[in-house]
Chains A and B, each alone.
Chain A
Amino acid sequence: MIVGERKPLEEIAKMMQAYRKVLNIGCGGCTSMCLAGGQKEVSQLNRDLENHFQDQGGDIRIHELTIERQCNAEFFADLDEIIANYDAVLSMACGAGVQFVADRYPHKPVFPSLNTTFVGIDRDVGWYEENCRTCGDCVLGDTAGICPVTRCAKSLFNGPCGGTRADGTCEVDPDTPCAWYEIHKRLKGQDRLDLIMKVRPAREWVNQTRRSVIQEPYKERYTK
């Protein structure tokens, strides 16, 4: 899941201050799952903004609409009809969704109300952790299912640096386990340490230009 966090209210209000009629669009996808940009959060943000502008004496009307996902055109049918009624659009989707909205309505100013934080998991209700940097060349098979790119602060590929603490935490943060300490522990338990004994050579980074994926059955359709 893509995890997002709402921007500070002042920052969102500043982006909105030039507009009179704004549509705040929620996303029923990832940002709804992480309780940042779904229907409930859209209503909350609108209340916060209305209170803010009431205090500031601004004249602004903010409506809301939450669609199933902001990263696929098929969910935008309702929006296409009403978008003309608004001066500006707020999106509570991740960065991908915000761009999708902005590309779809190129004459409309579109603003993000979240910071897209990471690809991660639910550690508990309202507690999320980053687990994947989408590097595009997965090494988890060799690292006991623990990502060194994401979970090692230096993204090291050949084991822990000299900074692992006595309790197996990372030198940069005593609350974060050292990824390589954890990888070693788990592989040892599985008797698979041989996987991390060889030198892993410099990698070929495949995420340095914008990526796209066309699945095999669709190749013909899209690459004519």
Chain B
Amino acid sequence: MKSGGNLEAVLKAGHFAITGELGPPRGTNVEVVMKKAQPLKGMVDAVNITDNQTAVVRMSSWATSLLVMKEGLEPNYQMVCRDRNRLAMQADILGACAHKIPNMLCLSGDHQKFGDHPKSRGVFDIDSIQLIAMVKKMRDEGKFLGGEDIDVPPKIFIGAAANPFGEPLEWRVHRLAKKVAAGADFIQTQCIYNMKIFKQWIDQANDMGLTEKVYVLAGVTPFKSLGMARYMQKNVPGMDVPNHMIKRLKGVLKKQVASEGIKIACEQIEEFKEMQGVAGIHLMAIEWEHKVPQIVEQAKMLPRPQVPQEPQEPQEPQEPQEPQEAGE
């Protein structure tokens, strides 16, 4: 086991996995975290804790991860390259692992121009693929990016994102291959609506042998409303919402659109279950956490598997370090 976490155990045992998503609050309101975490309990194998998503400041991902762990949920700690350099990243990874956060998702991050501090300086010291390689080096070689030894290396299951729908389409699977080569253990994809394009992408990944090396979790976001579907179709770059889905939502009564959205998502999940190379789903019920139990139930994914965890190696006692001189 690379991490000793639940998500890794579930995937390794061959179960069809499910991860959820939880956006931290814009303040210190712990109640919000608890309220969002409640409905996810027992419904997902791990939950992504987003990192300043859409470049809007929120409670930090690692801190929120600790809060949800207290609630009995396993976090998937997201980290973007936009907000910190390689020193801060490595420090946060050590801290996260010291607190037994078992998963992380390595992302470039939305550009700060889209967020609430549009004129901030983007860091992007390293990119998402370099971040994956850095975490792998820390874990498997026990070395920092700079080459020095780590005193008790971090244990972490390394995640990465993939978007099968961005242009150039034909290059997307090769970008996946790079992430696998860099060291990704699992992949969570962009929200999938165009099943045909997704099928082509996963077939390519199968043909290239990638899905034998990495667990692919297919991204699912149920439509809450017709407006949301239209917005995603028109305004979200790299999102491919086919017209027939819009048509289908239009075809039902307004008060039934949400349940139709969930129905579509569940039909997609059934297809993913049968699709070679898909190891599970990543359910992004954006600001709709309370609907997750219904969706997971309707998708016939309950109860979640209980996989006995392999015992973790005991940590060696750490020697006290010499105090370092402080600089500004």
A and B interact physically: yes
B196 at the interface (CB under 8 A from A): no
A218 at the interface (CB under 8 A from B): no
Q: In chain B, what residue has the closest Cβ to A162?
A: B328
In the complex, the answer to whether B111 meets A161 with C-beta atoms within 8 Å is no
Q: How close is A114's CB to chain B, nearest CB, in angstroms?
A: 24
Main secondary structure of the interface of A (DSSP, over half): loop
In the complex, the answer to whether A204 meets B328 with C-beta atoms within 8 Å is no
A163 at the interface (CB under 8 A from B): yes
In the complex, the answer to whether A162 meets B327 with C-beta atoms within 8 Å is yes
Chain A proximity mask over B309-321: 1 for CB below 8 Å, otherwise 0: 0000000000000
Q: In chain B, what residue has the closest Cβ to A203?
A: B119
In the complex, the answer to whether A163 meets B328 with C-beta atoms within 8 Å is yes
The interface size of chain B toward A, counting residues with CB under 8 Å, comes to: 9
In the complex, the answer to whether A205 meets B121 with C-beta atoms within 8 Å is yes
Q: Which residues of B contact A204 (CB under 8 A)?
A: 119
Q: Which of A160-207 contact B (CB under 8 A)?
A: 161-163, 171, 203-206
Interchain CB contact (< 8 A) of B120 among A163, A205, A209: A205
Q: How close is A137's CB to chain B, nearest CB, in angstroms?
A: 9
Q: Which residues of A contact B119 (CB under 8 A)?
A: 203-206, 208
Question: How many inter-chain residue pairs (CB < 8 Å) link A and B?
Answer: 23
Which among B111, B113, B119 has the greatest number of chain A C-beta atoms within 10 A?
B119
Cα(A130)–Cα(B98), bound, Å: 43
Q: Which residues of A contact B328 (CB under 8 A)?
A: 154, 161-163
Cα(A27)–Cα(B187), bound, Å: 47
Q: How close is B159's CB to chain A, nearest CB, in angstroms?
A: 27
Q: Which of B141-195 contact A (CB under 8 A)?
A: none
B112 at the interface (CB under 8 A from A): yes
Q: Which of A104-163 contact B (CB under 8 A)?
A: 154, 161-163
Q: Which residues of B contact A154 (CB under 8 A)?
A: 328
Chain A proximity mask over B110-150: 1 for CB below 8 Å, otherwise 0: 01110000011110000000000000000000000000000
Q: In chain B, what residue has the closest Cβ to A154?
A: B328
Q: Which residues of B contact A203 (CB under 8 A)?
A: 119
In the complex, the answer to whether A209 meets B327 with C-beta atoms within 8 Å is no
Main secondary structure of the interface of B (DSSP, over half): loop
Cα(A67)–Cα(B198), bound, Å: 49
Q: In chain B, what residue has the closest Cβ to A171?
A: B327
Q: In chain B, what residue has the closest Cβ to A156?
A: B328
Q: How close is B179's CB to chain A, nearest CB, in angstroms?
A: 25
Interchain CB contact (< 8 A) of B111 among A162, A163, A205, A209: A209
In the complex, the answer to whether B122 meets A208 with C-beta atoms within 8 Å is yes
Q: In chain B, what residue has the closest Cβ to A135?
A: B121
Cα(A206)–Cα(B111), bound, Å: 13
Q: Which residues of B contact A208 (CB under 8 A)?
A: 111-113, 119-122
Cα(A182)–Cα(B113), bound, Å: 34
Cα(A209)–Cα(B111), bound, Å: 9
Q: Which residues of B contact A171 (CB under 8 A)?
A: 327
Cα(A163)–Cα(B121), bound, Å: 24
Q: How close is A153's CB to chain B, nearest CB, in angstroms?
A: 11
Chain B proximity mask over A205-216: 1 for CB below 8 Å, otherwise 0: 110110000000
In the complex, the answer to whether B112 meets A163 with C-beta atoms within 8 Å is no
Cα(A177)–Cα(B221), bound, Å: 56
Q: Which residues of A contact B120 (CB under 8 A)?
A: 205, 208
Cα(A204)–Cα(B121), bound, Å: 8
Cα(A154)–Cα(B121), bound, Å: 14
Cα(A152)–Cα(B113), bound, Å: 26
Q: How close is B85's CB to chain A, nearest CB, in angstroms?
A: 13
Cα(A176)–Cα(B208), bound, Å: 53
In the complex, the answer to whether B113 meets A209 with C-beta atoms within 8 Å is yes
Q: Which residues of A contact B113 (CB under 8 A)?
A: 208-209
Cα(A216)–Cα(B328), bound, Å: 43
Q: In chain B, what residue has the closest Cβ to A155?
A: B121
Q: How close is A204's CB to chain B, nearest CB, in angstroms?
A: 4
* 9 closest residue pairs by CB, A with B: A204-B119, A161-B328, A205-B121, A205-B119, A162-B328, A208-B122, A209-B113, A208-B121, A205-B120
- Sample of 15 further A-B pairs with CB below 8 A, known A154-B328, A205-B119, A208-B112: A161-B327, A161-B328, A162-B327, A162-B328, A163-B327, A163-B328, A171-B327, A204-B119, A205-B121, A206-B119, A208-B111, A208-B113, A208-B120, A209-B111, A209-B113
**Residues in B lying within 8 Å of A, measured CB to CB:** 111-113, 119-122, 327-328
The 9 listed contacts between A and B (C-beta, < 8 Å) are A154-B328, A161-B327, A162-B327, A163-B328, A171-B327, A205-B121, A208-B111, A208-B113, A208-B122
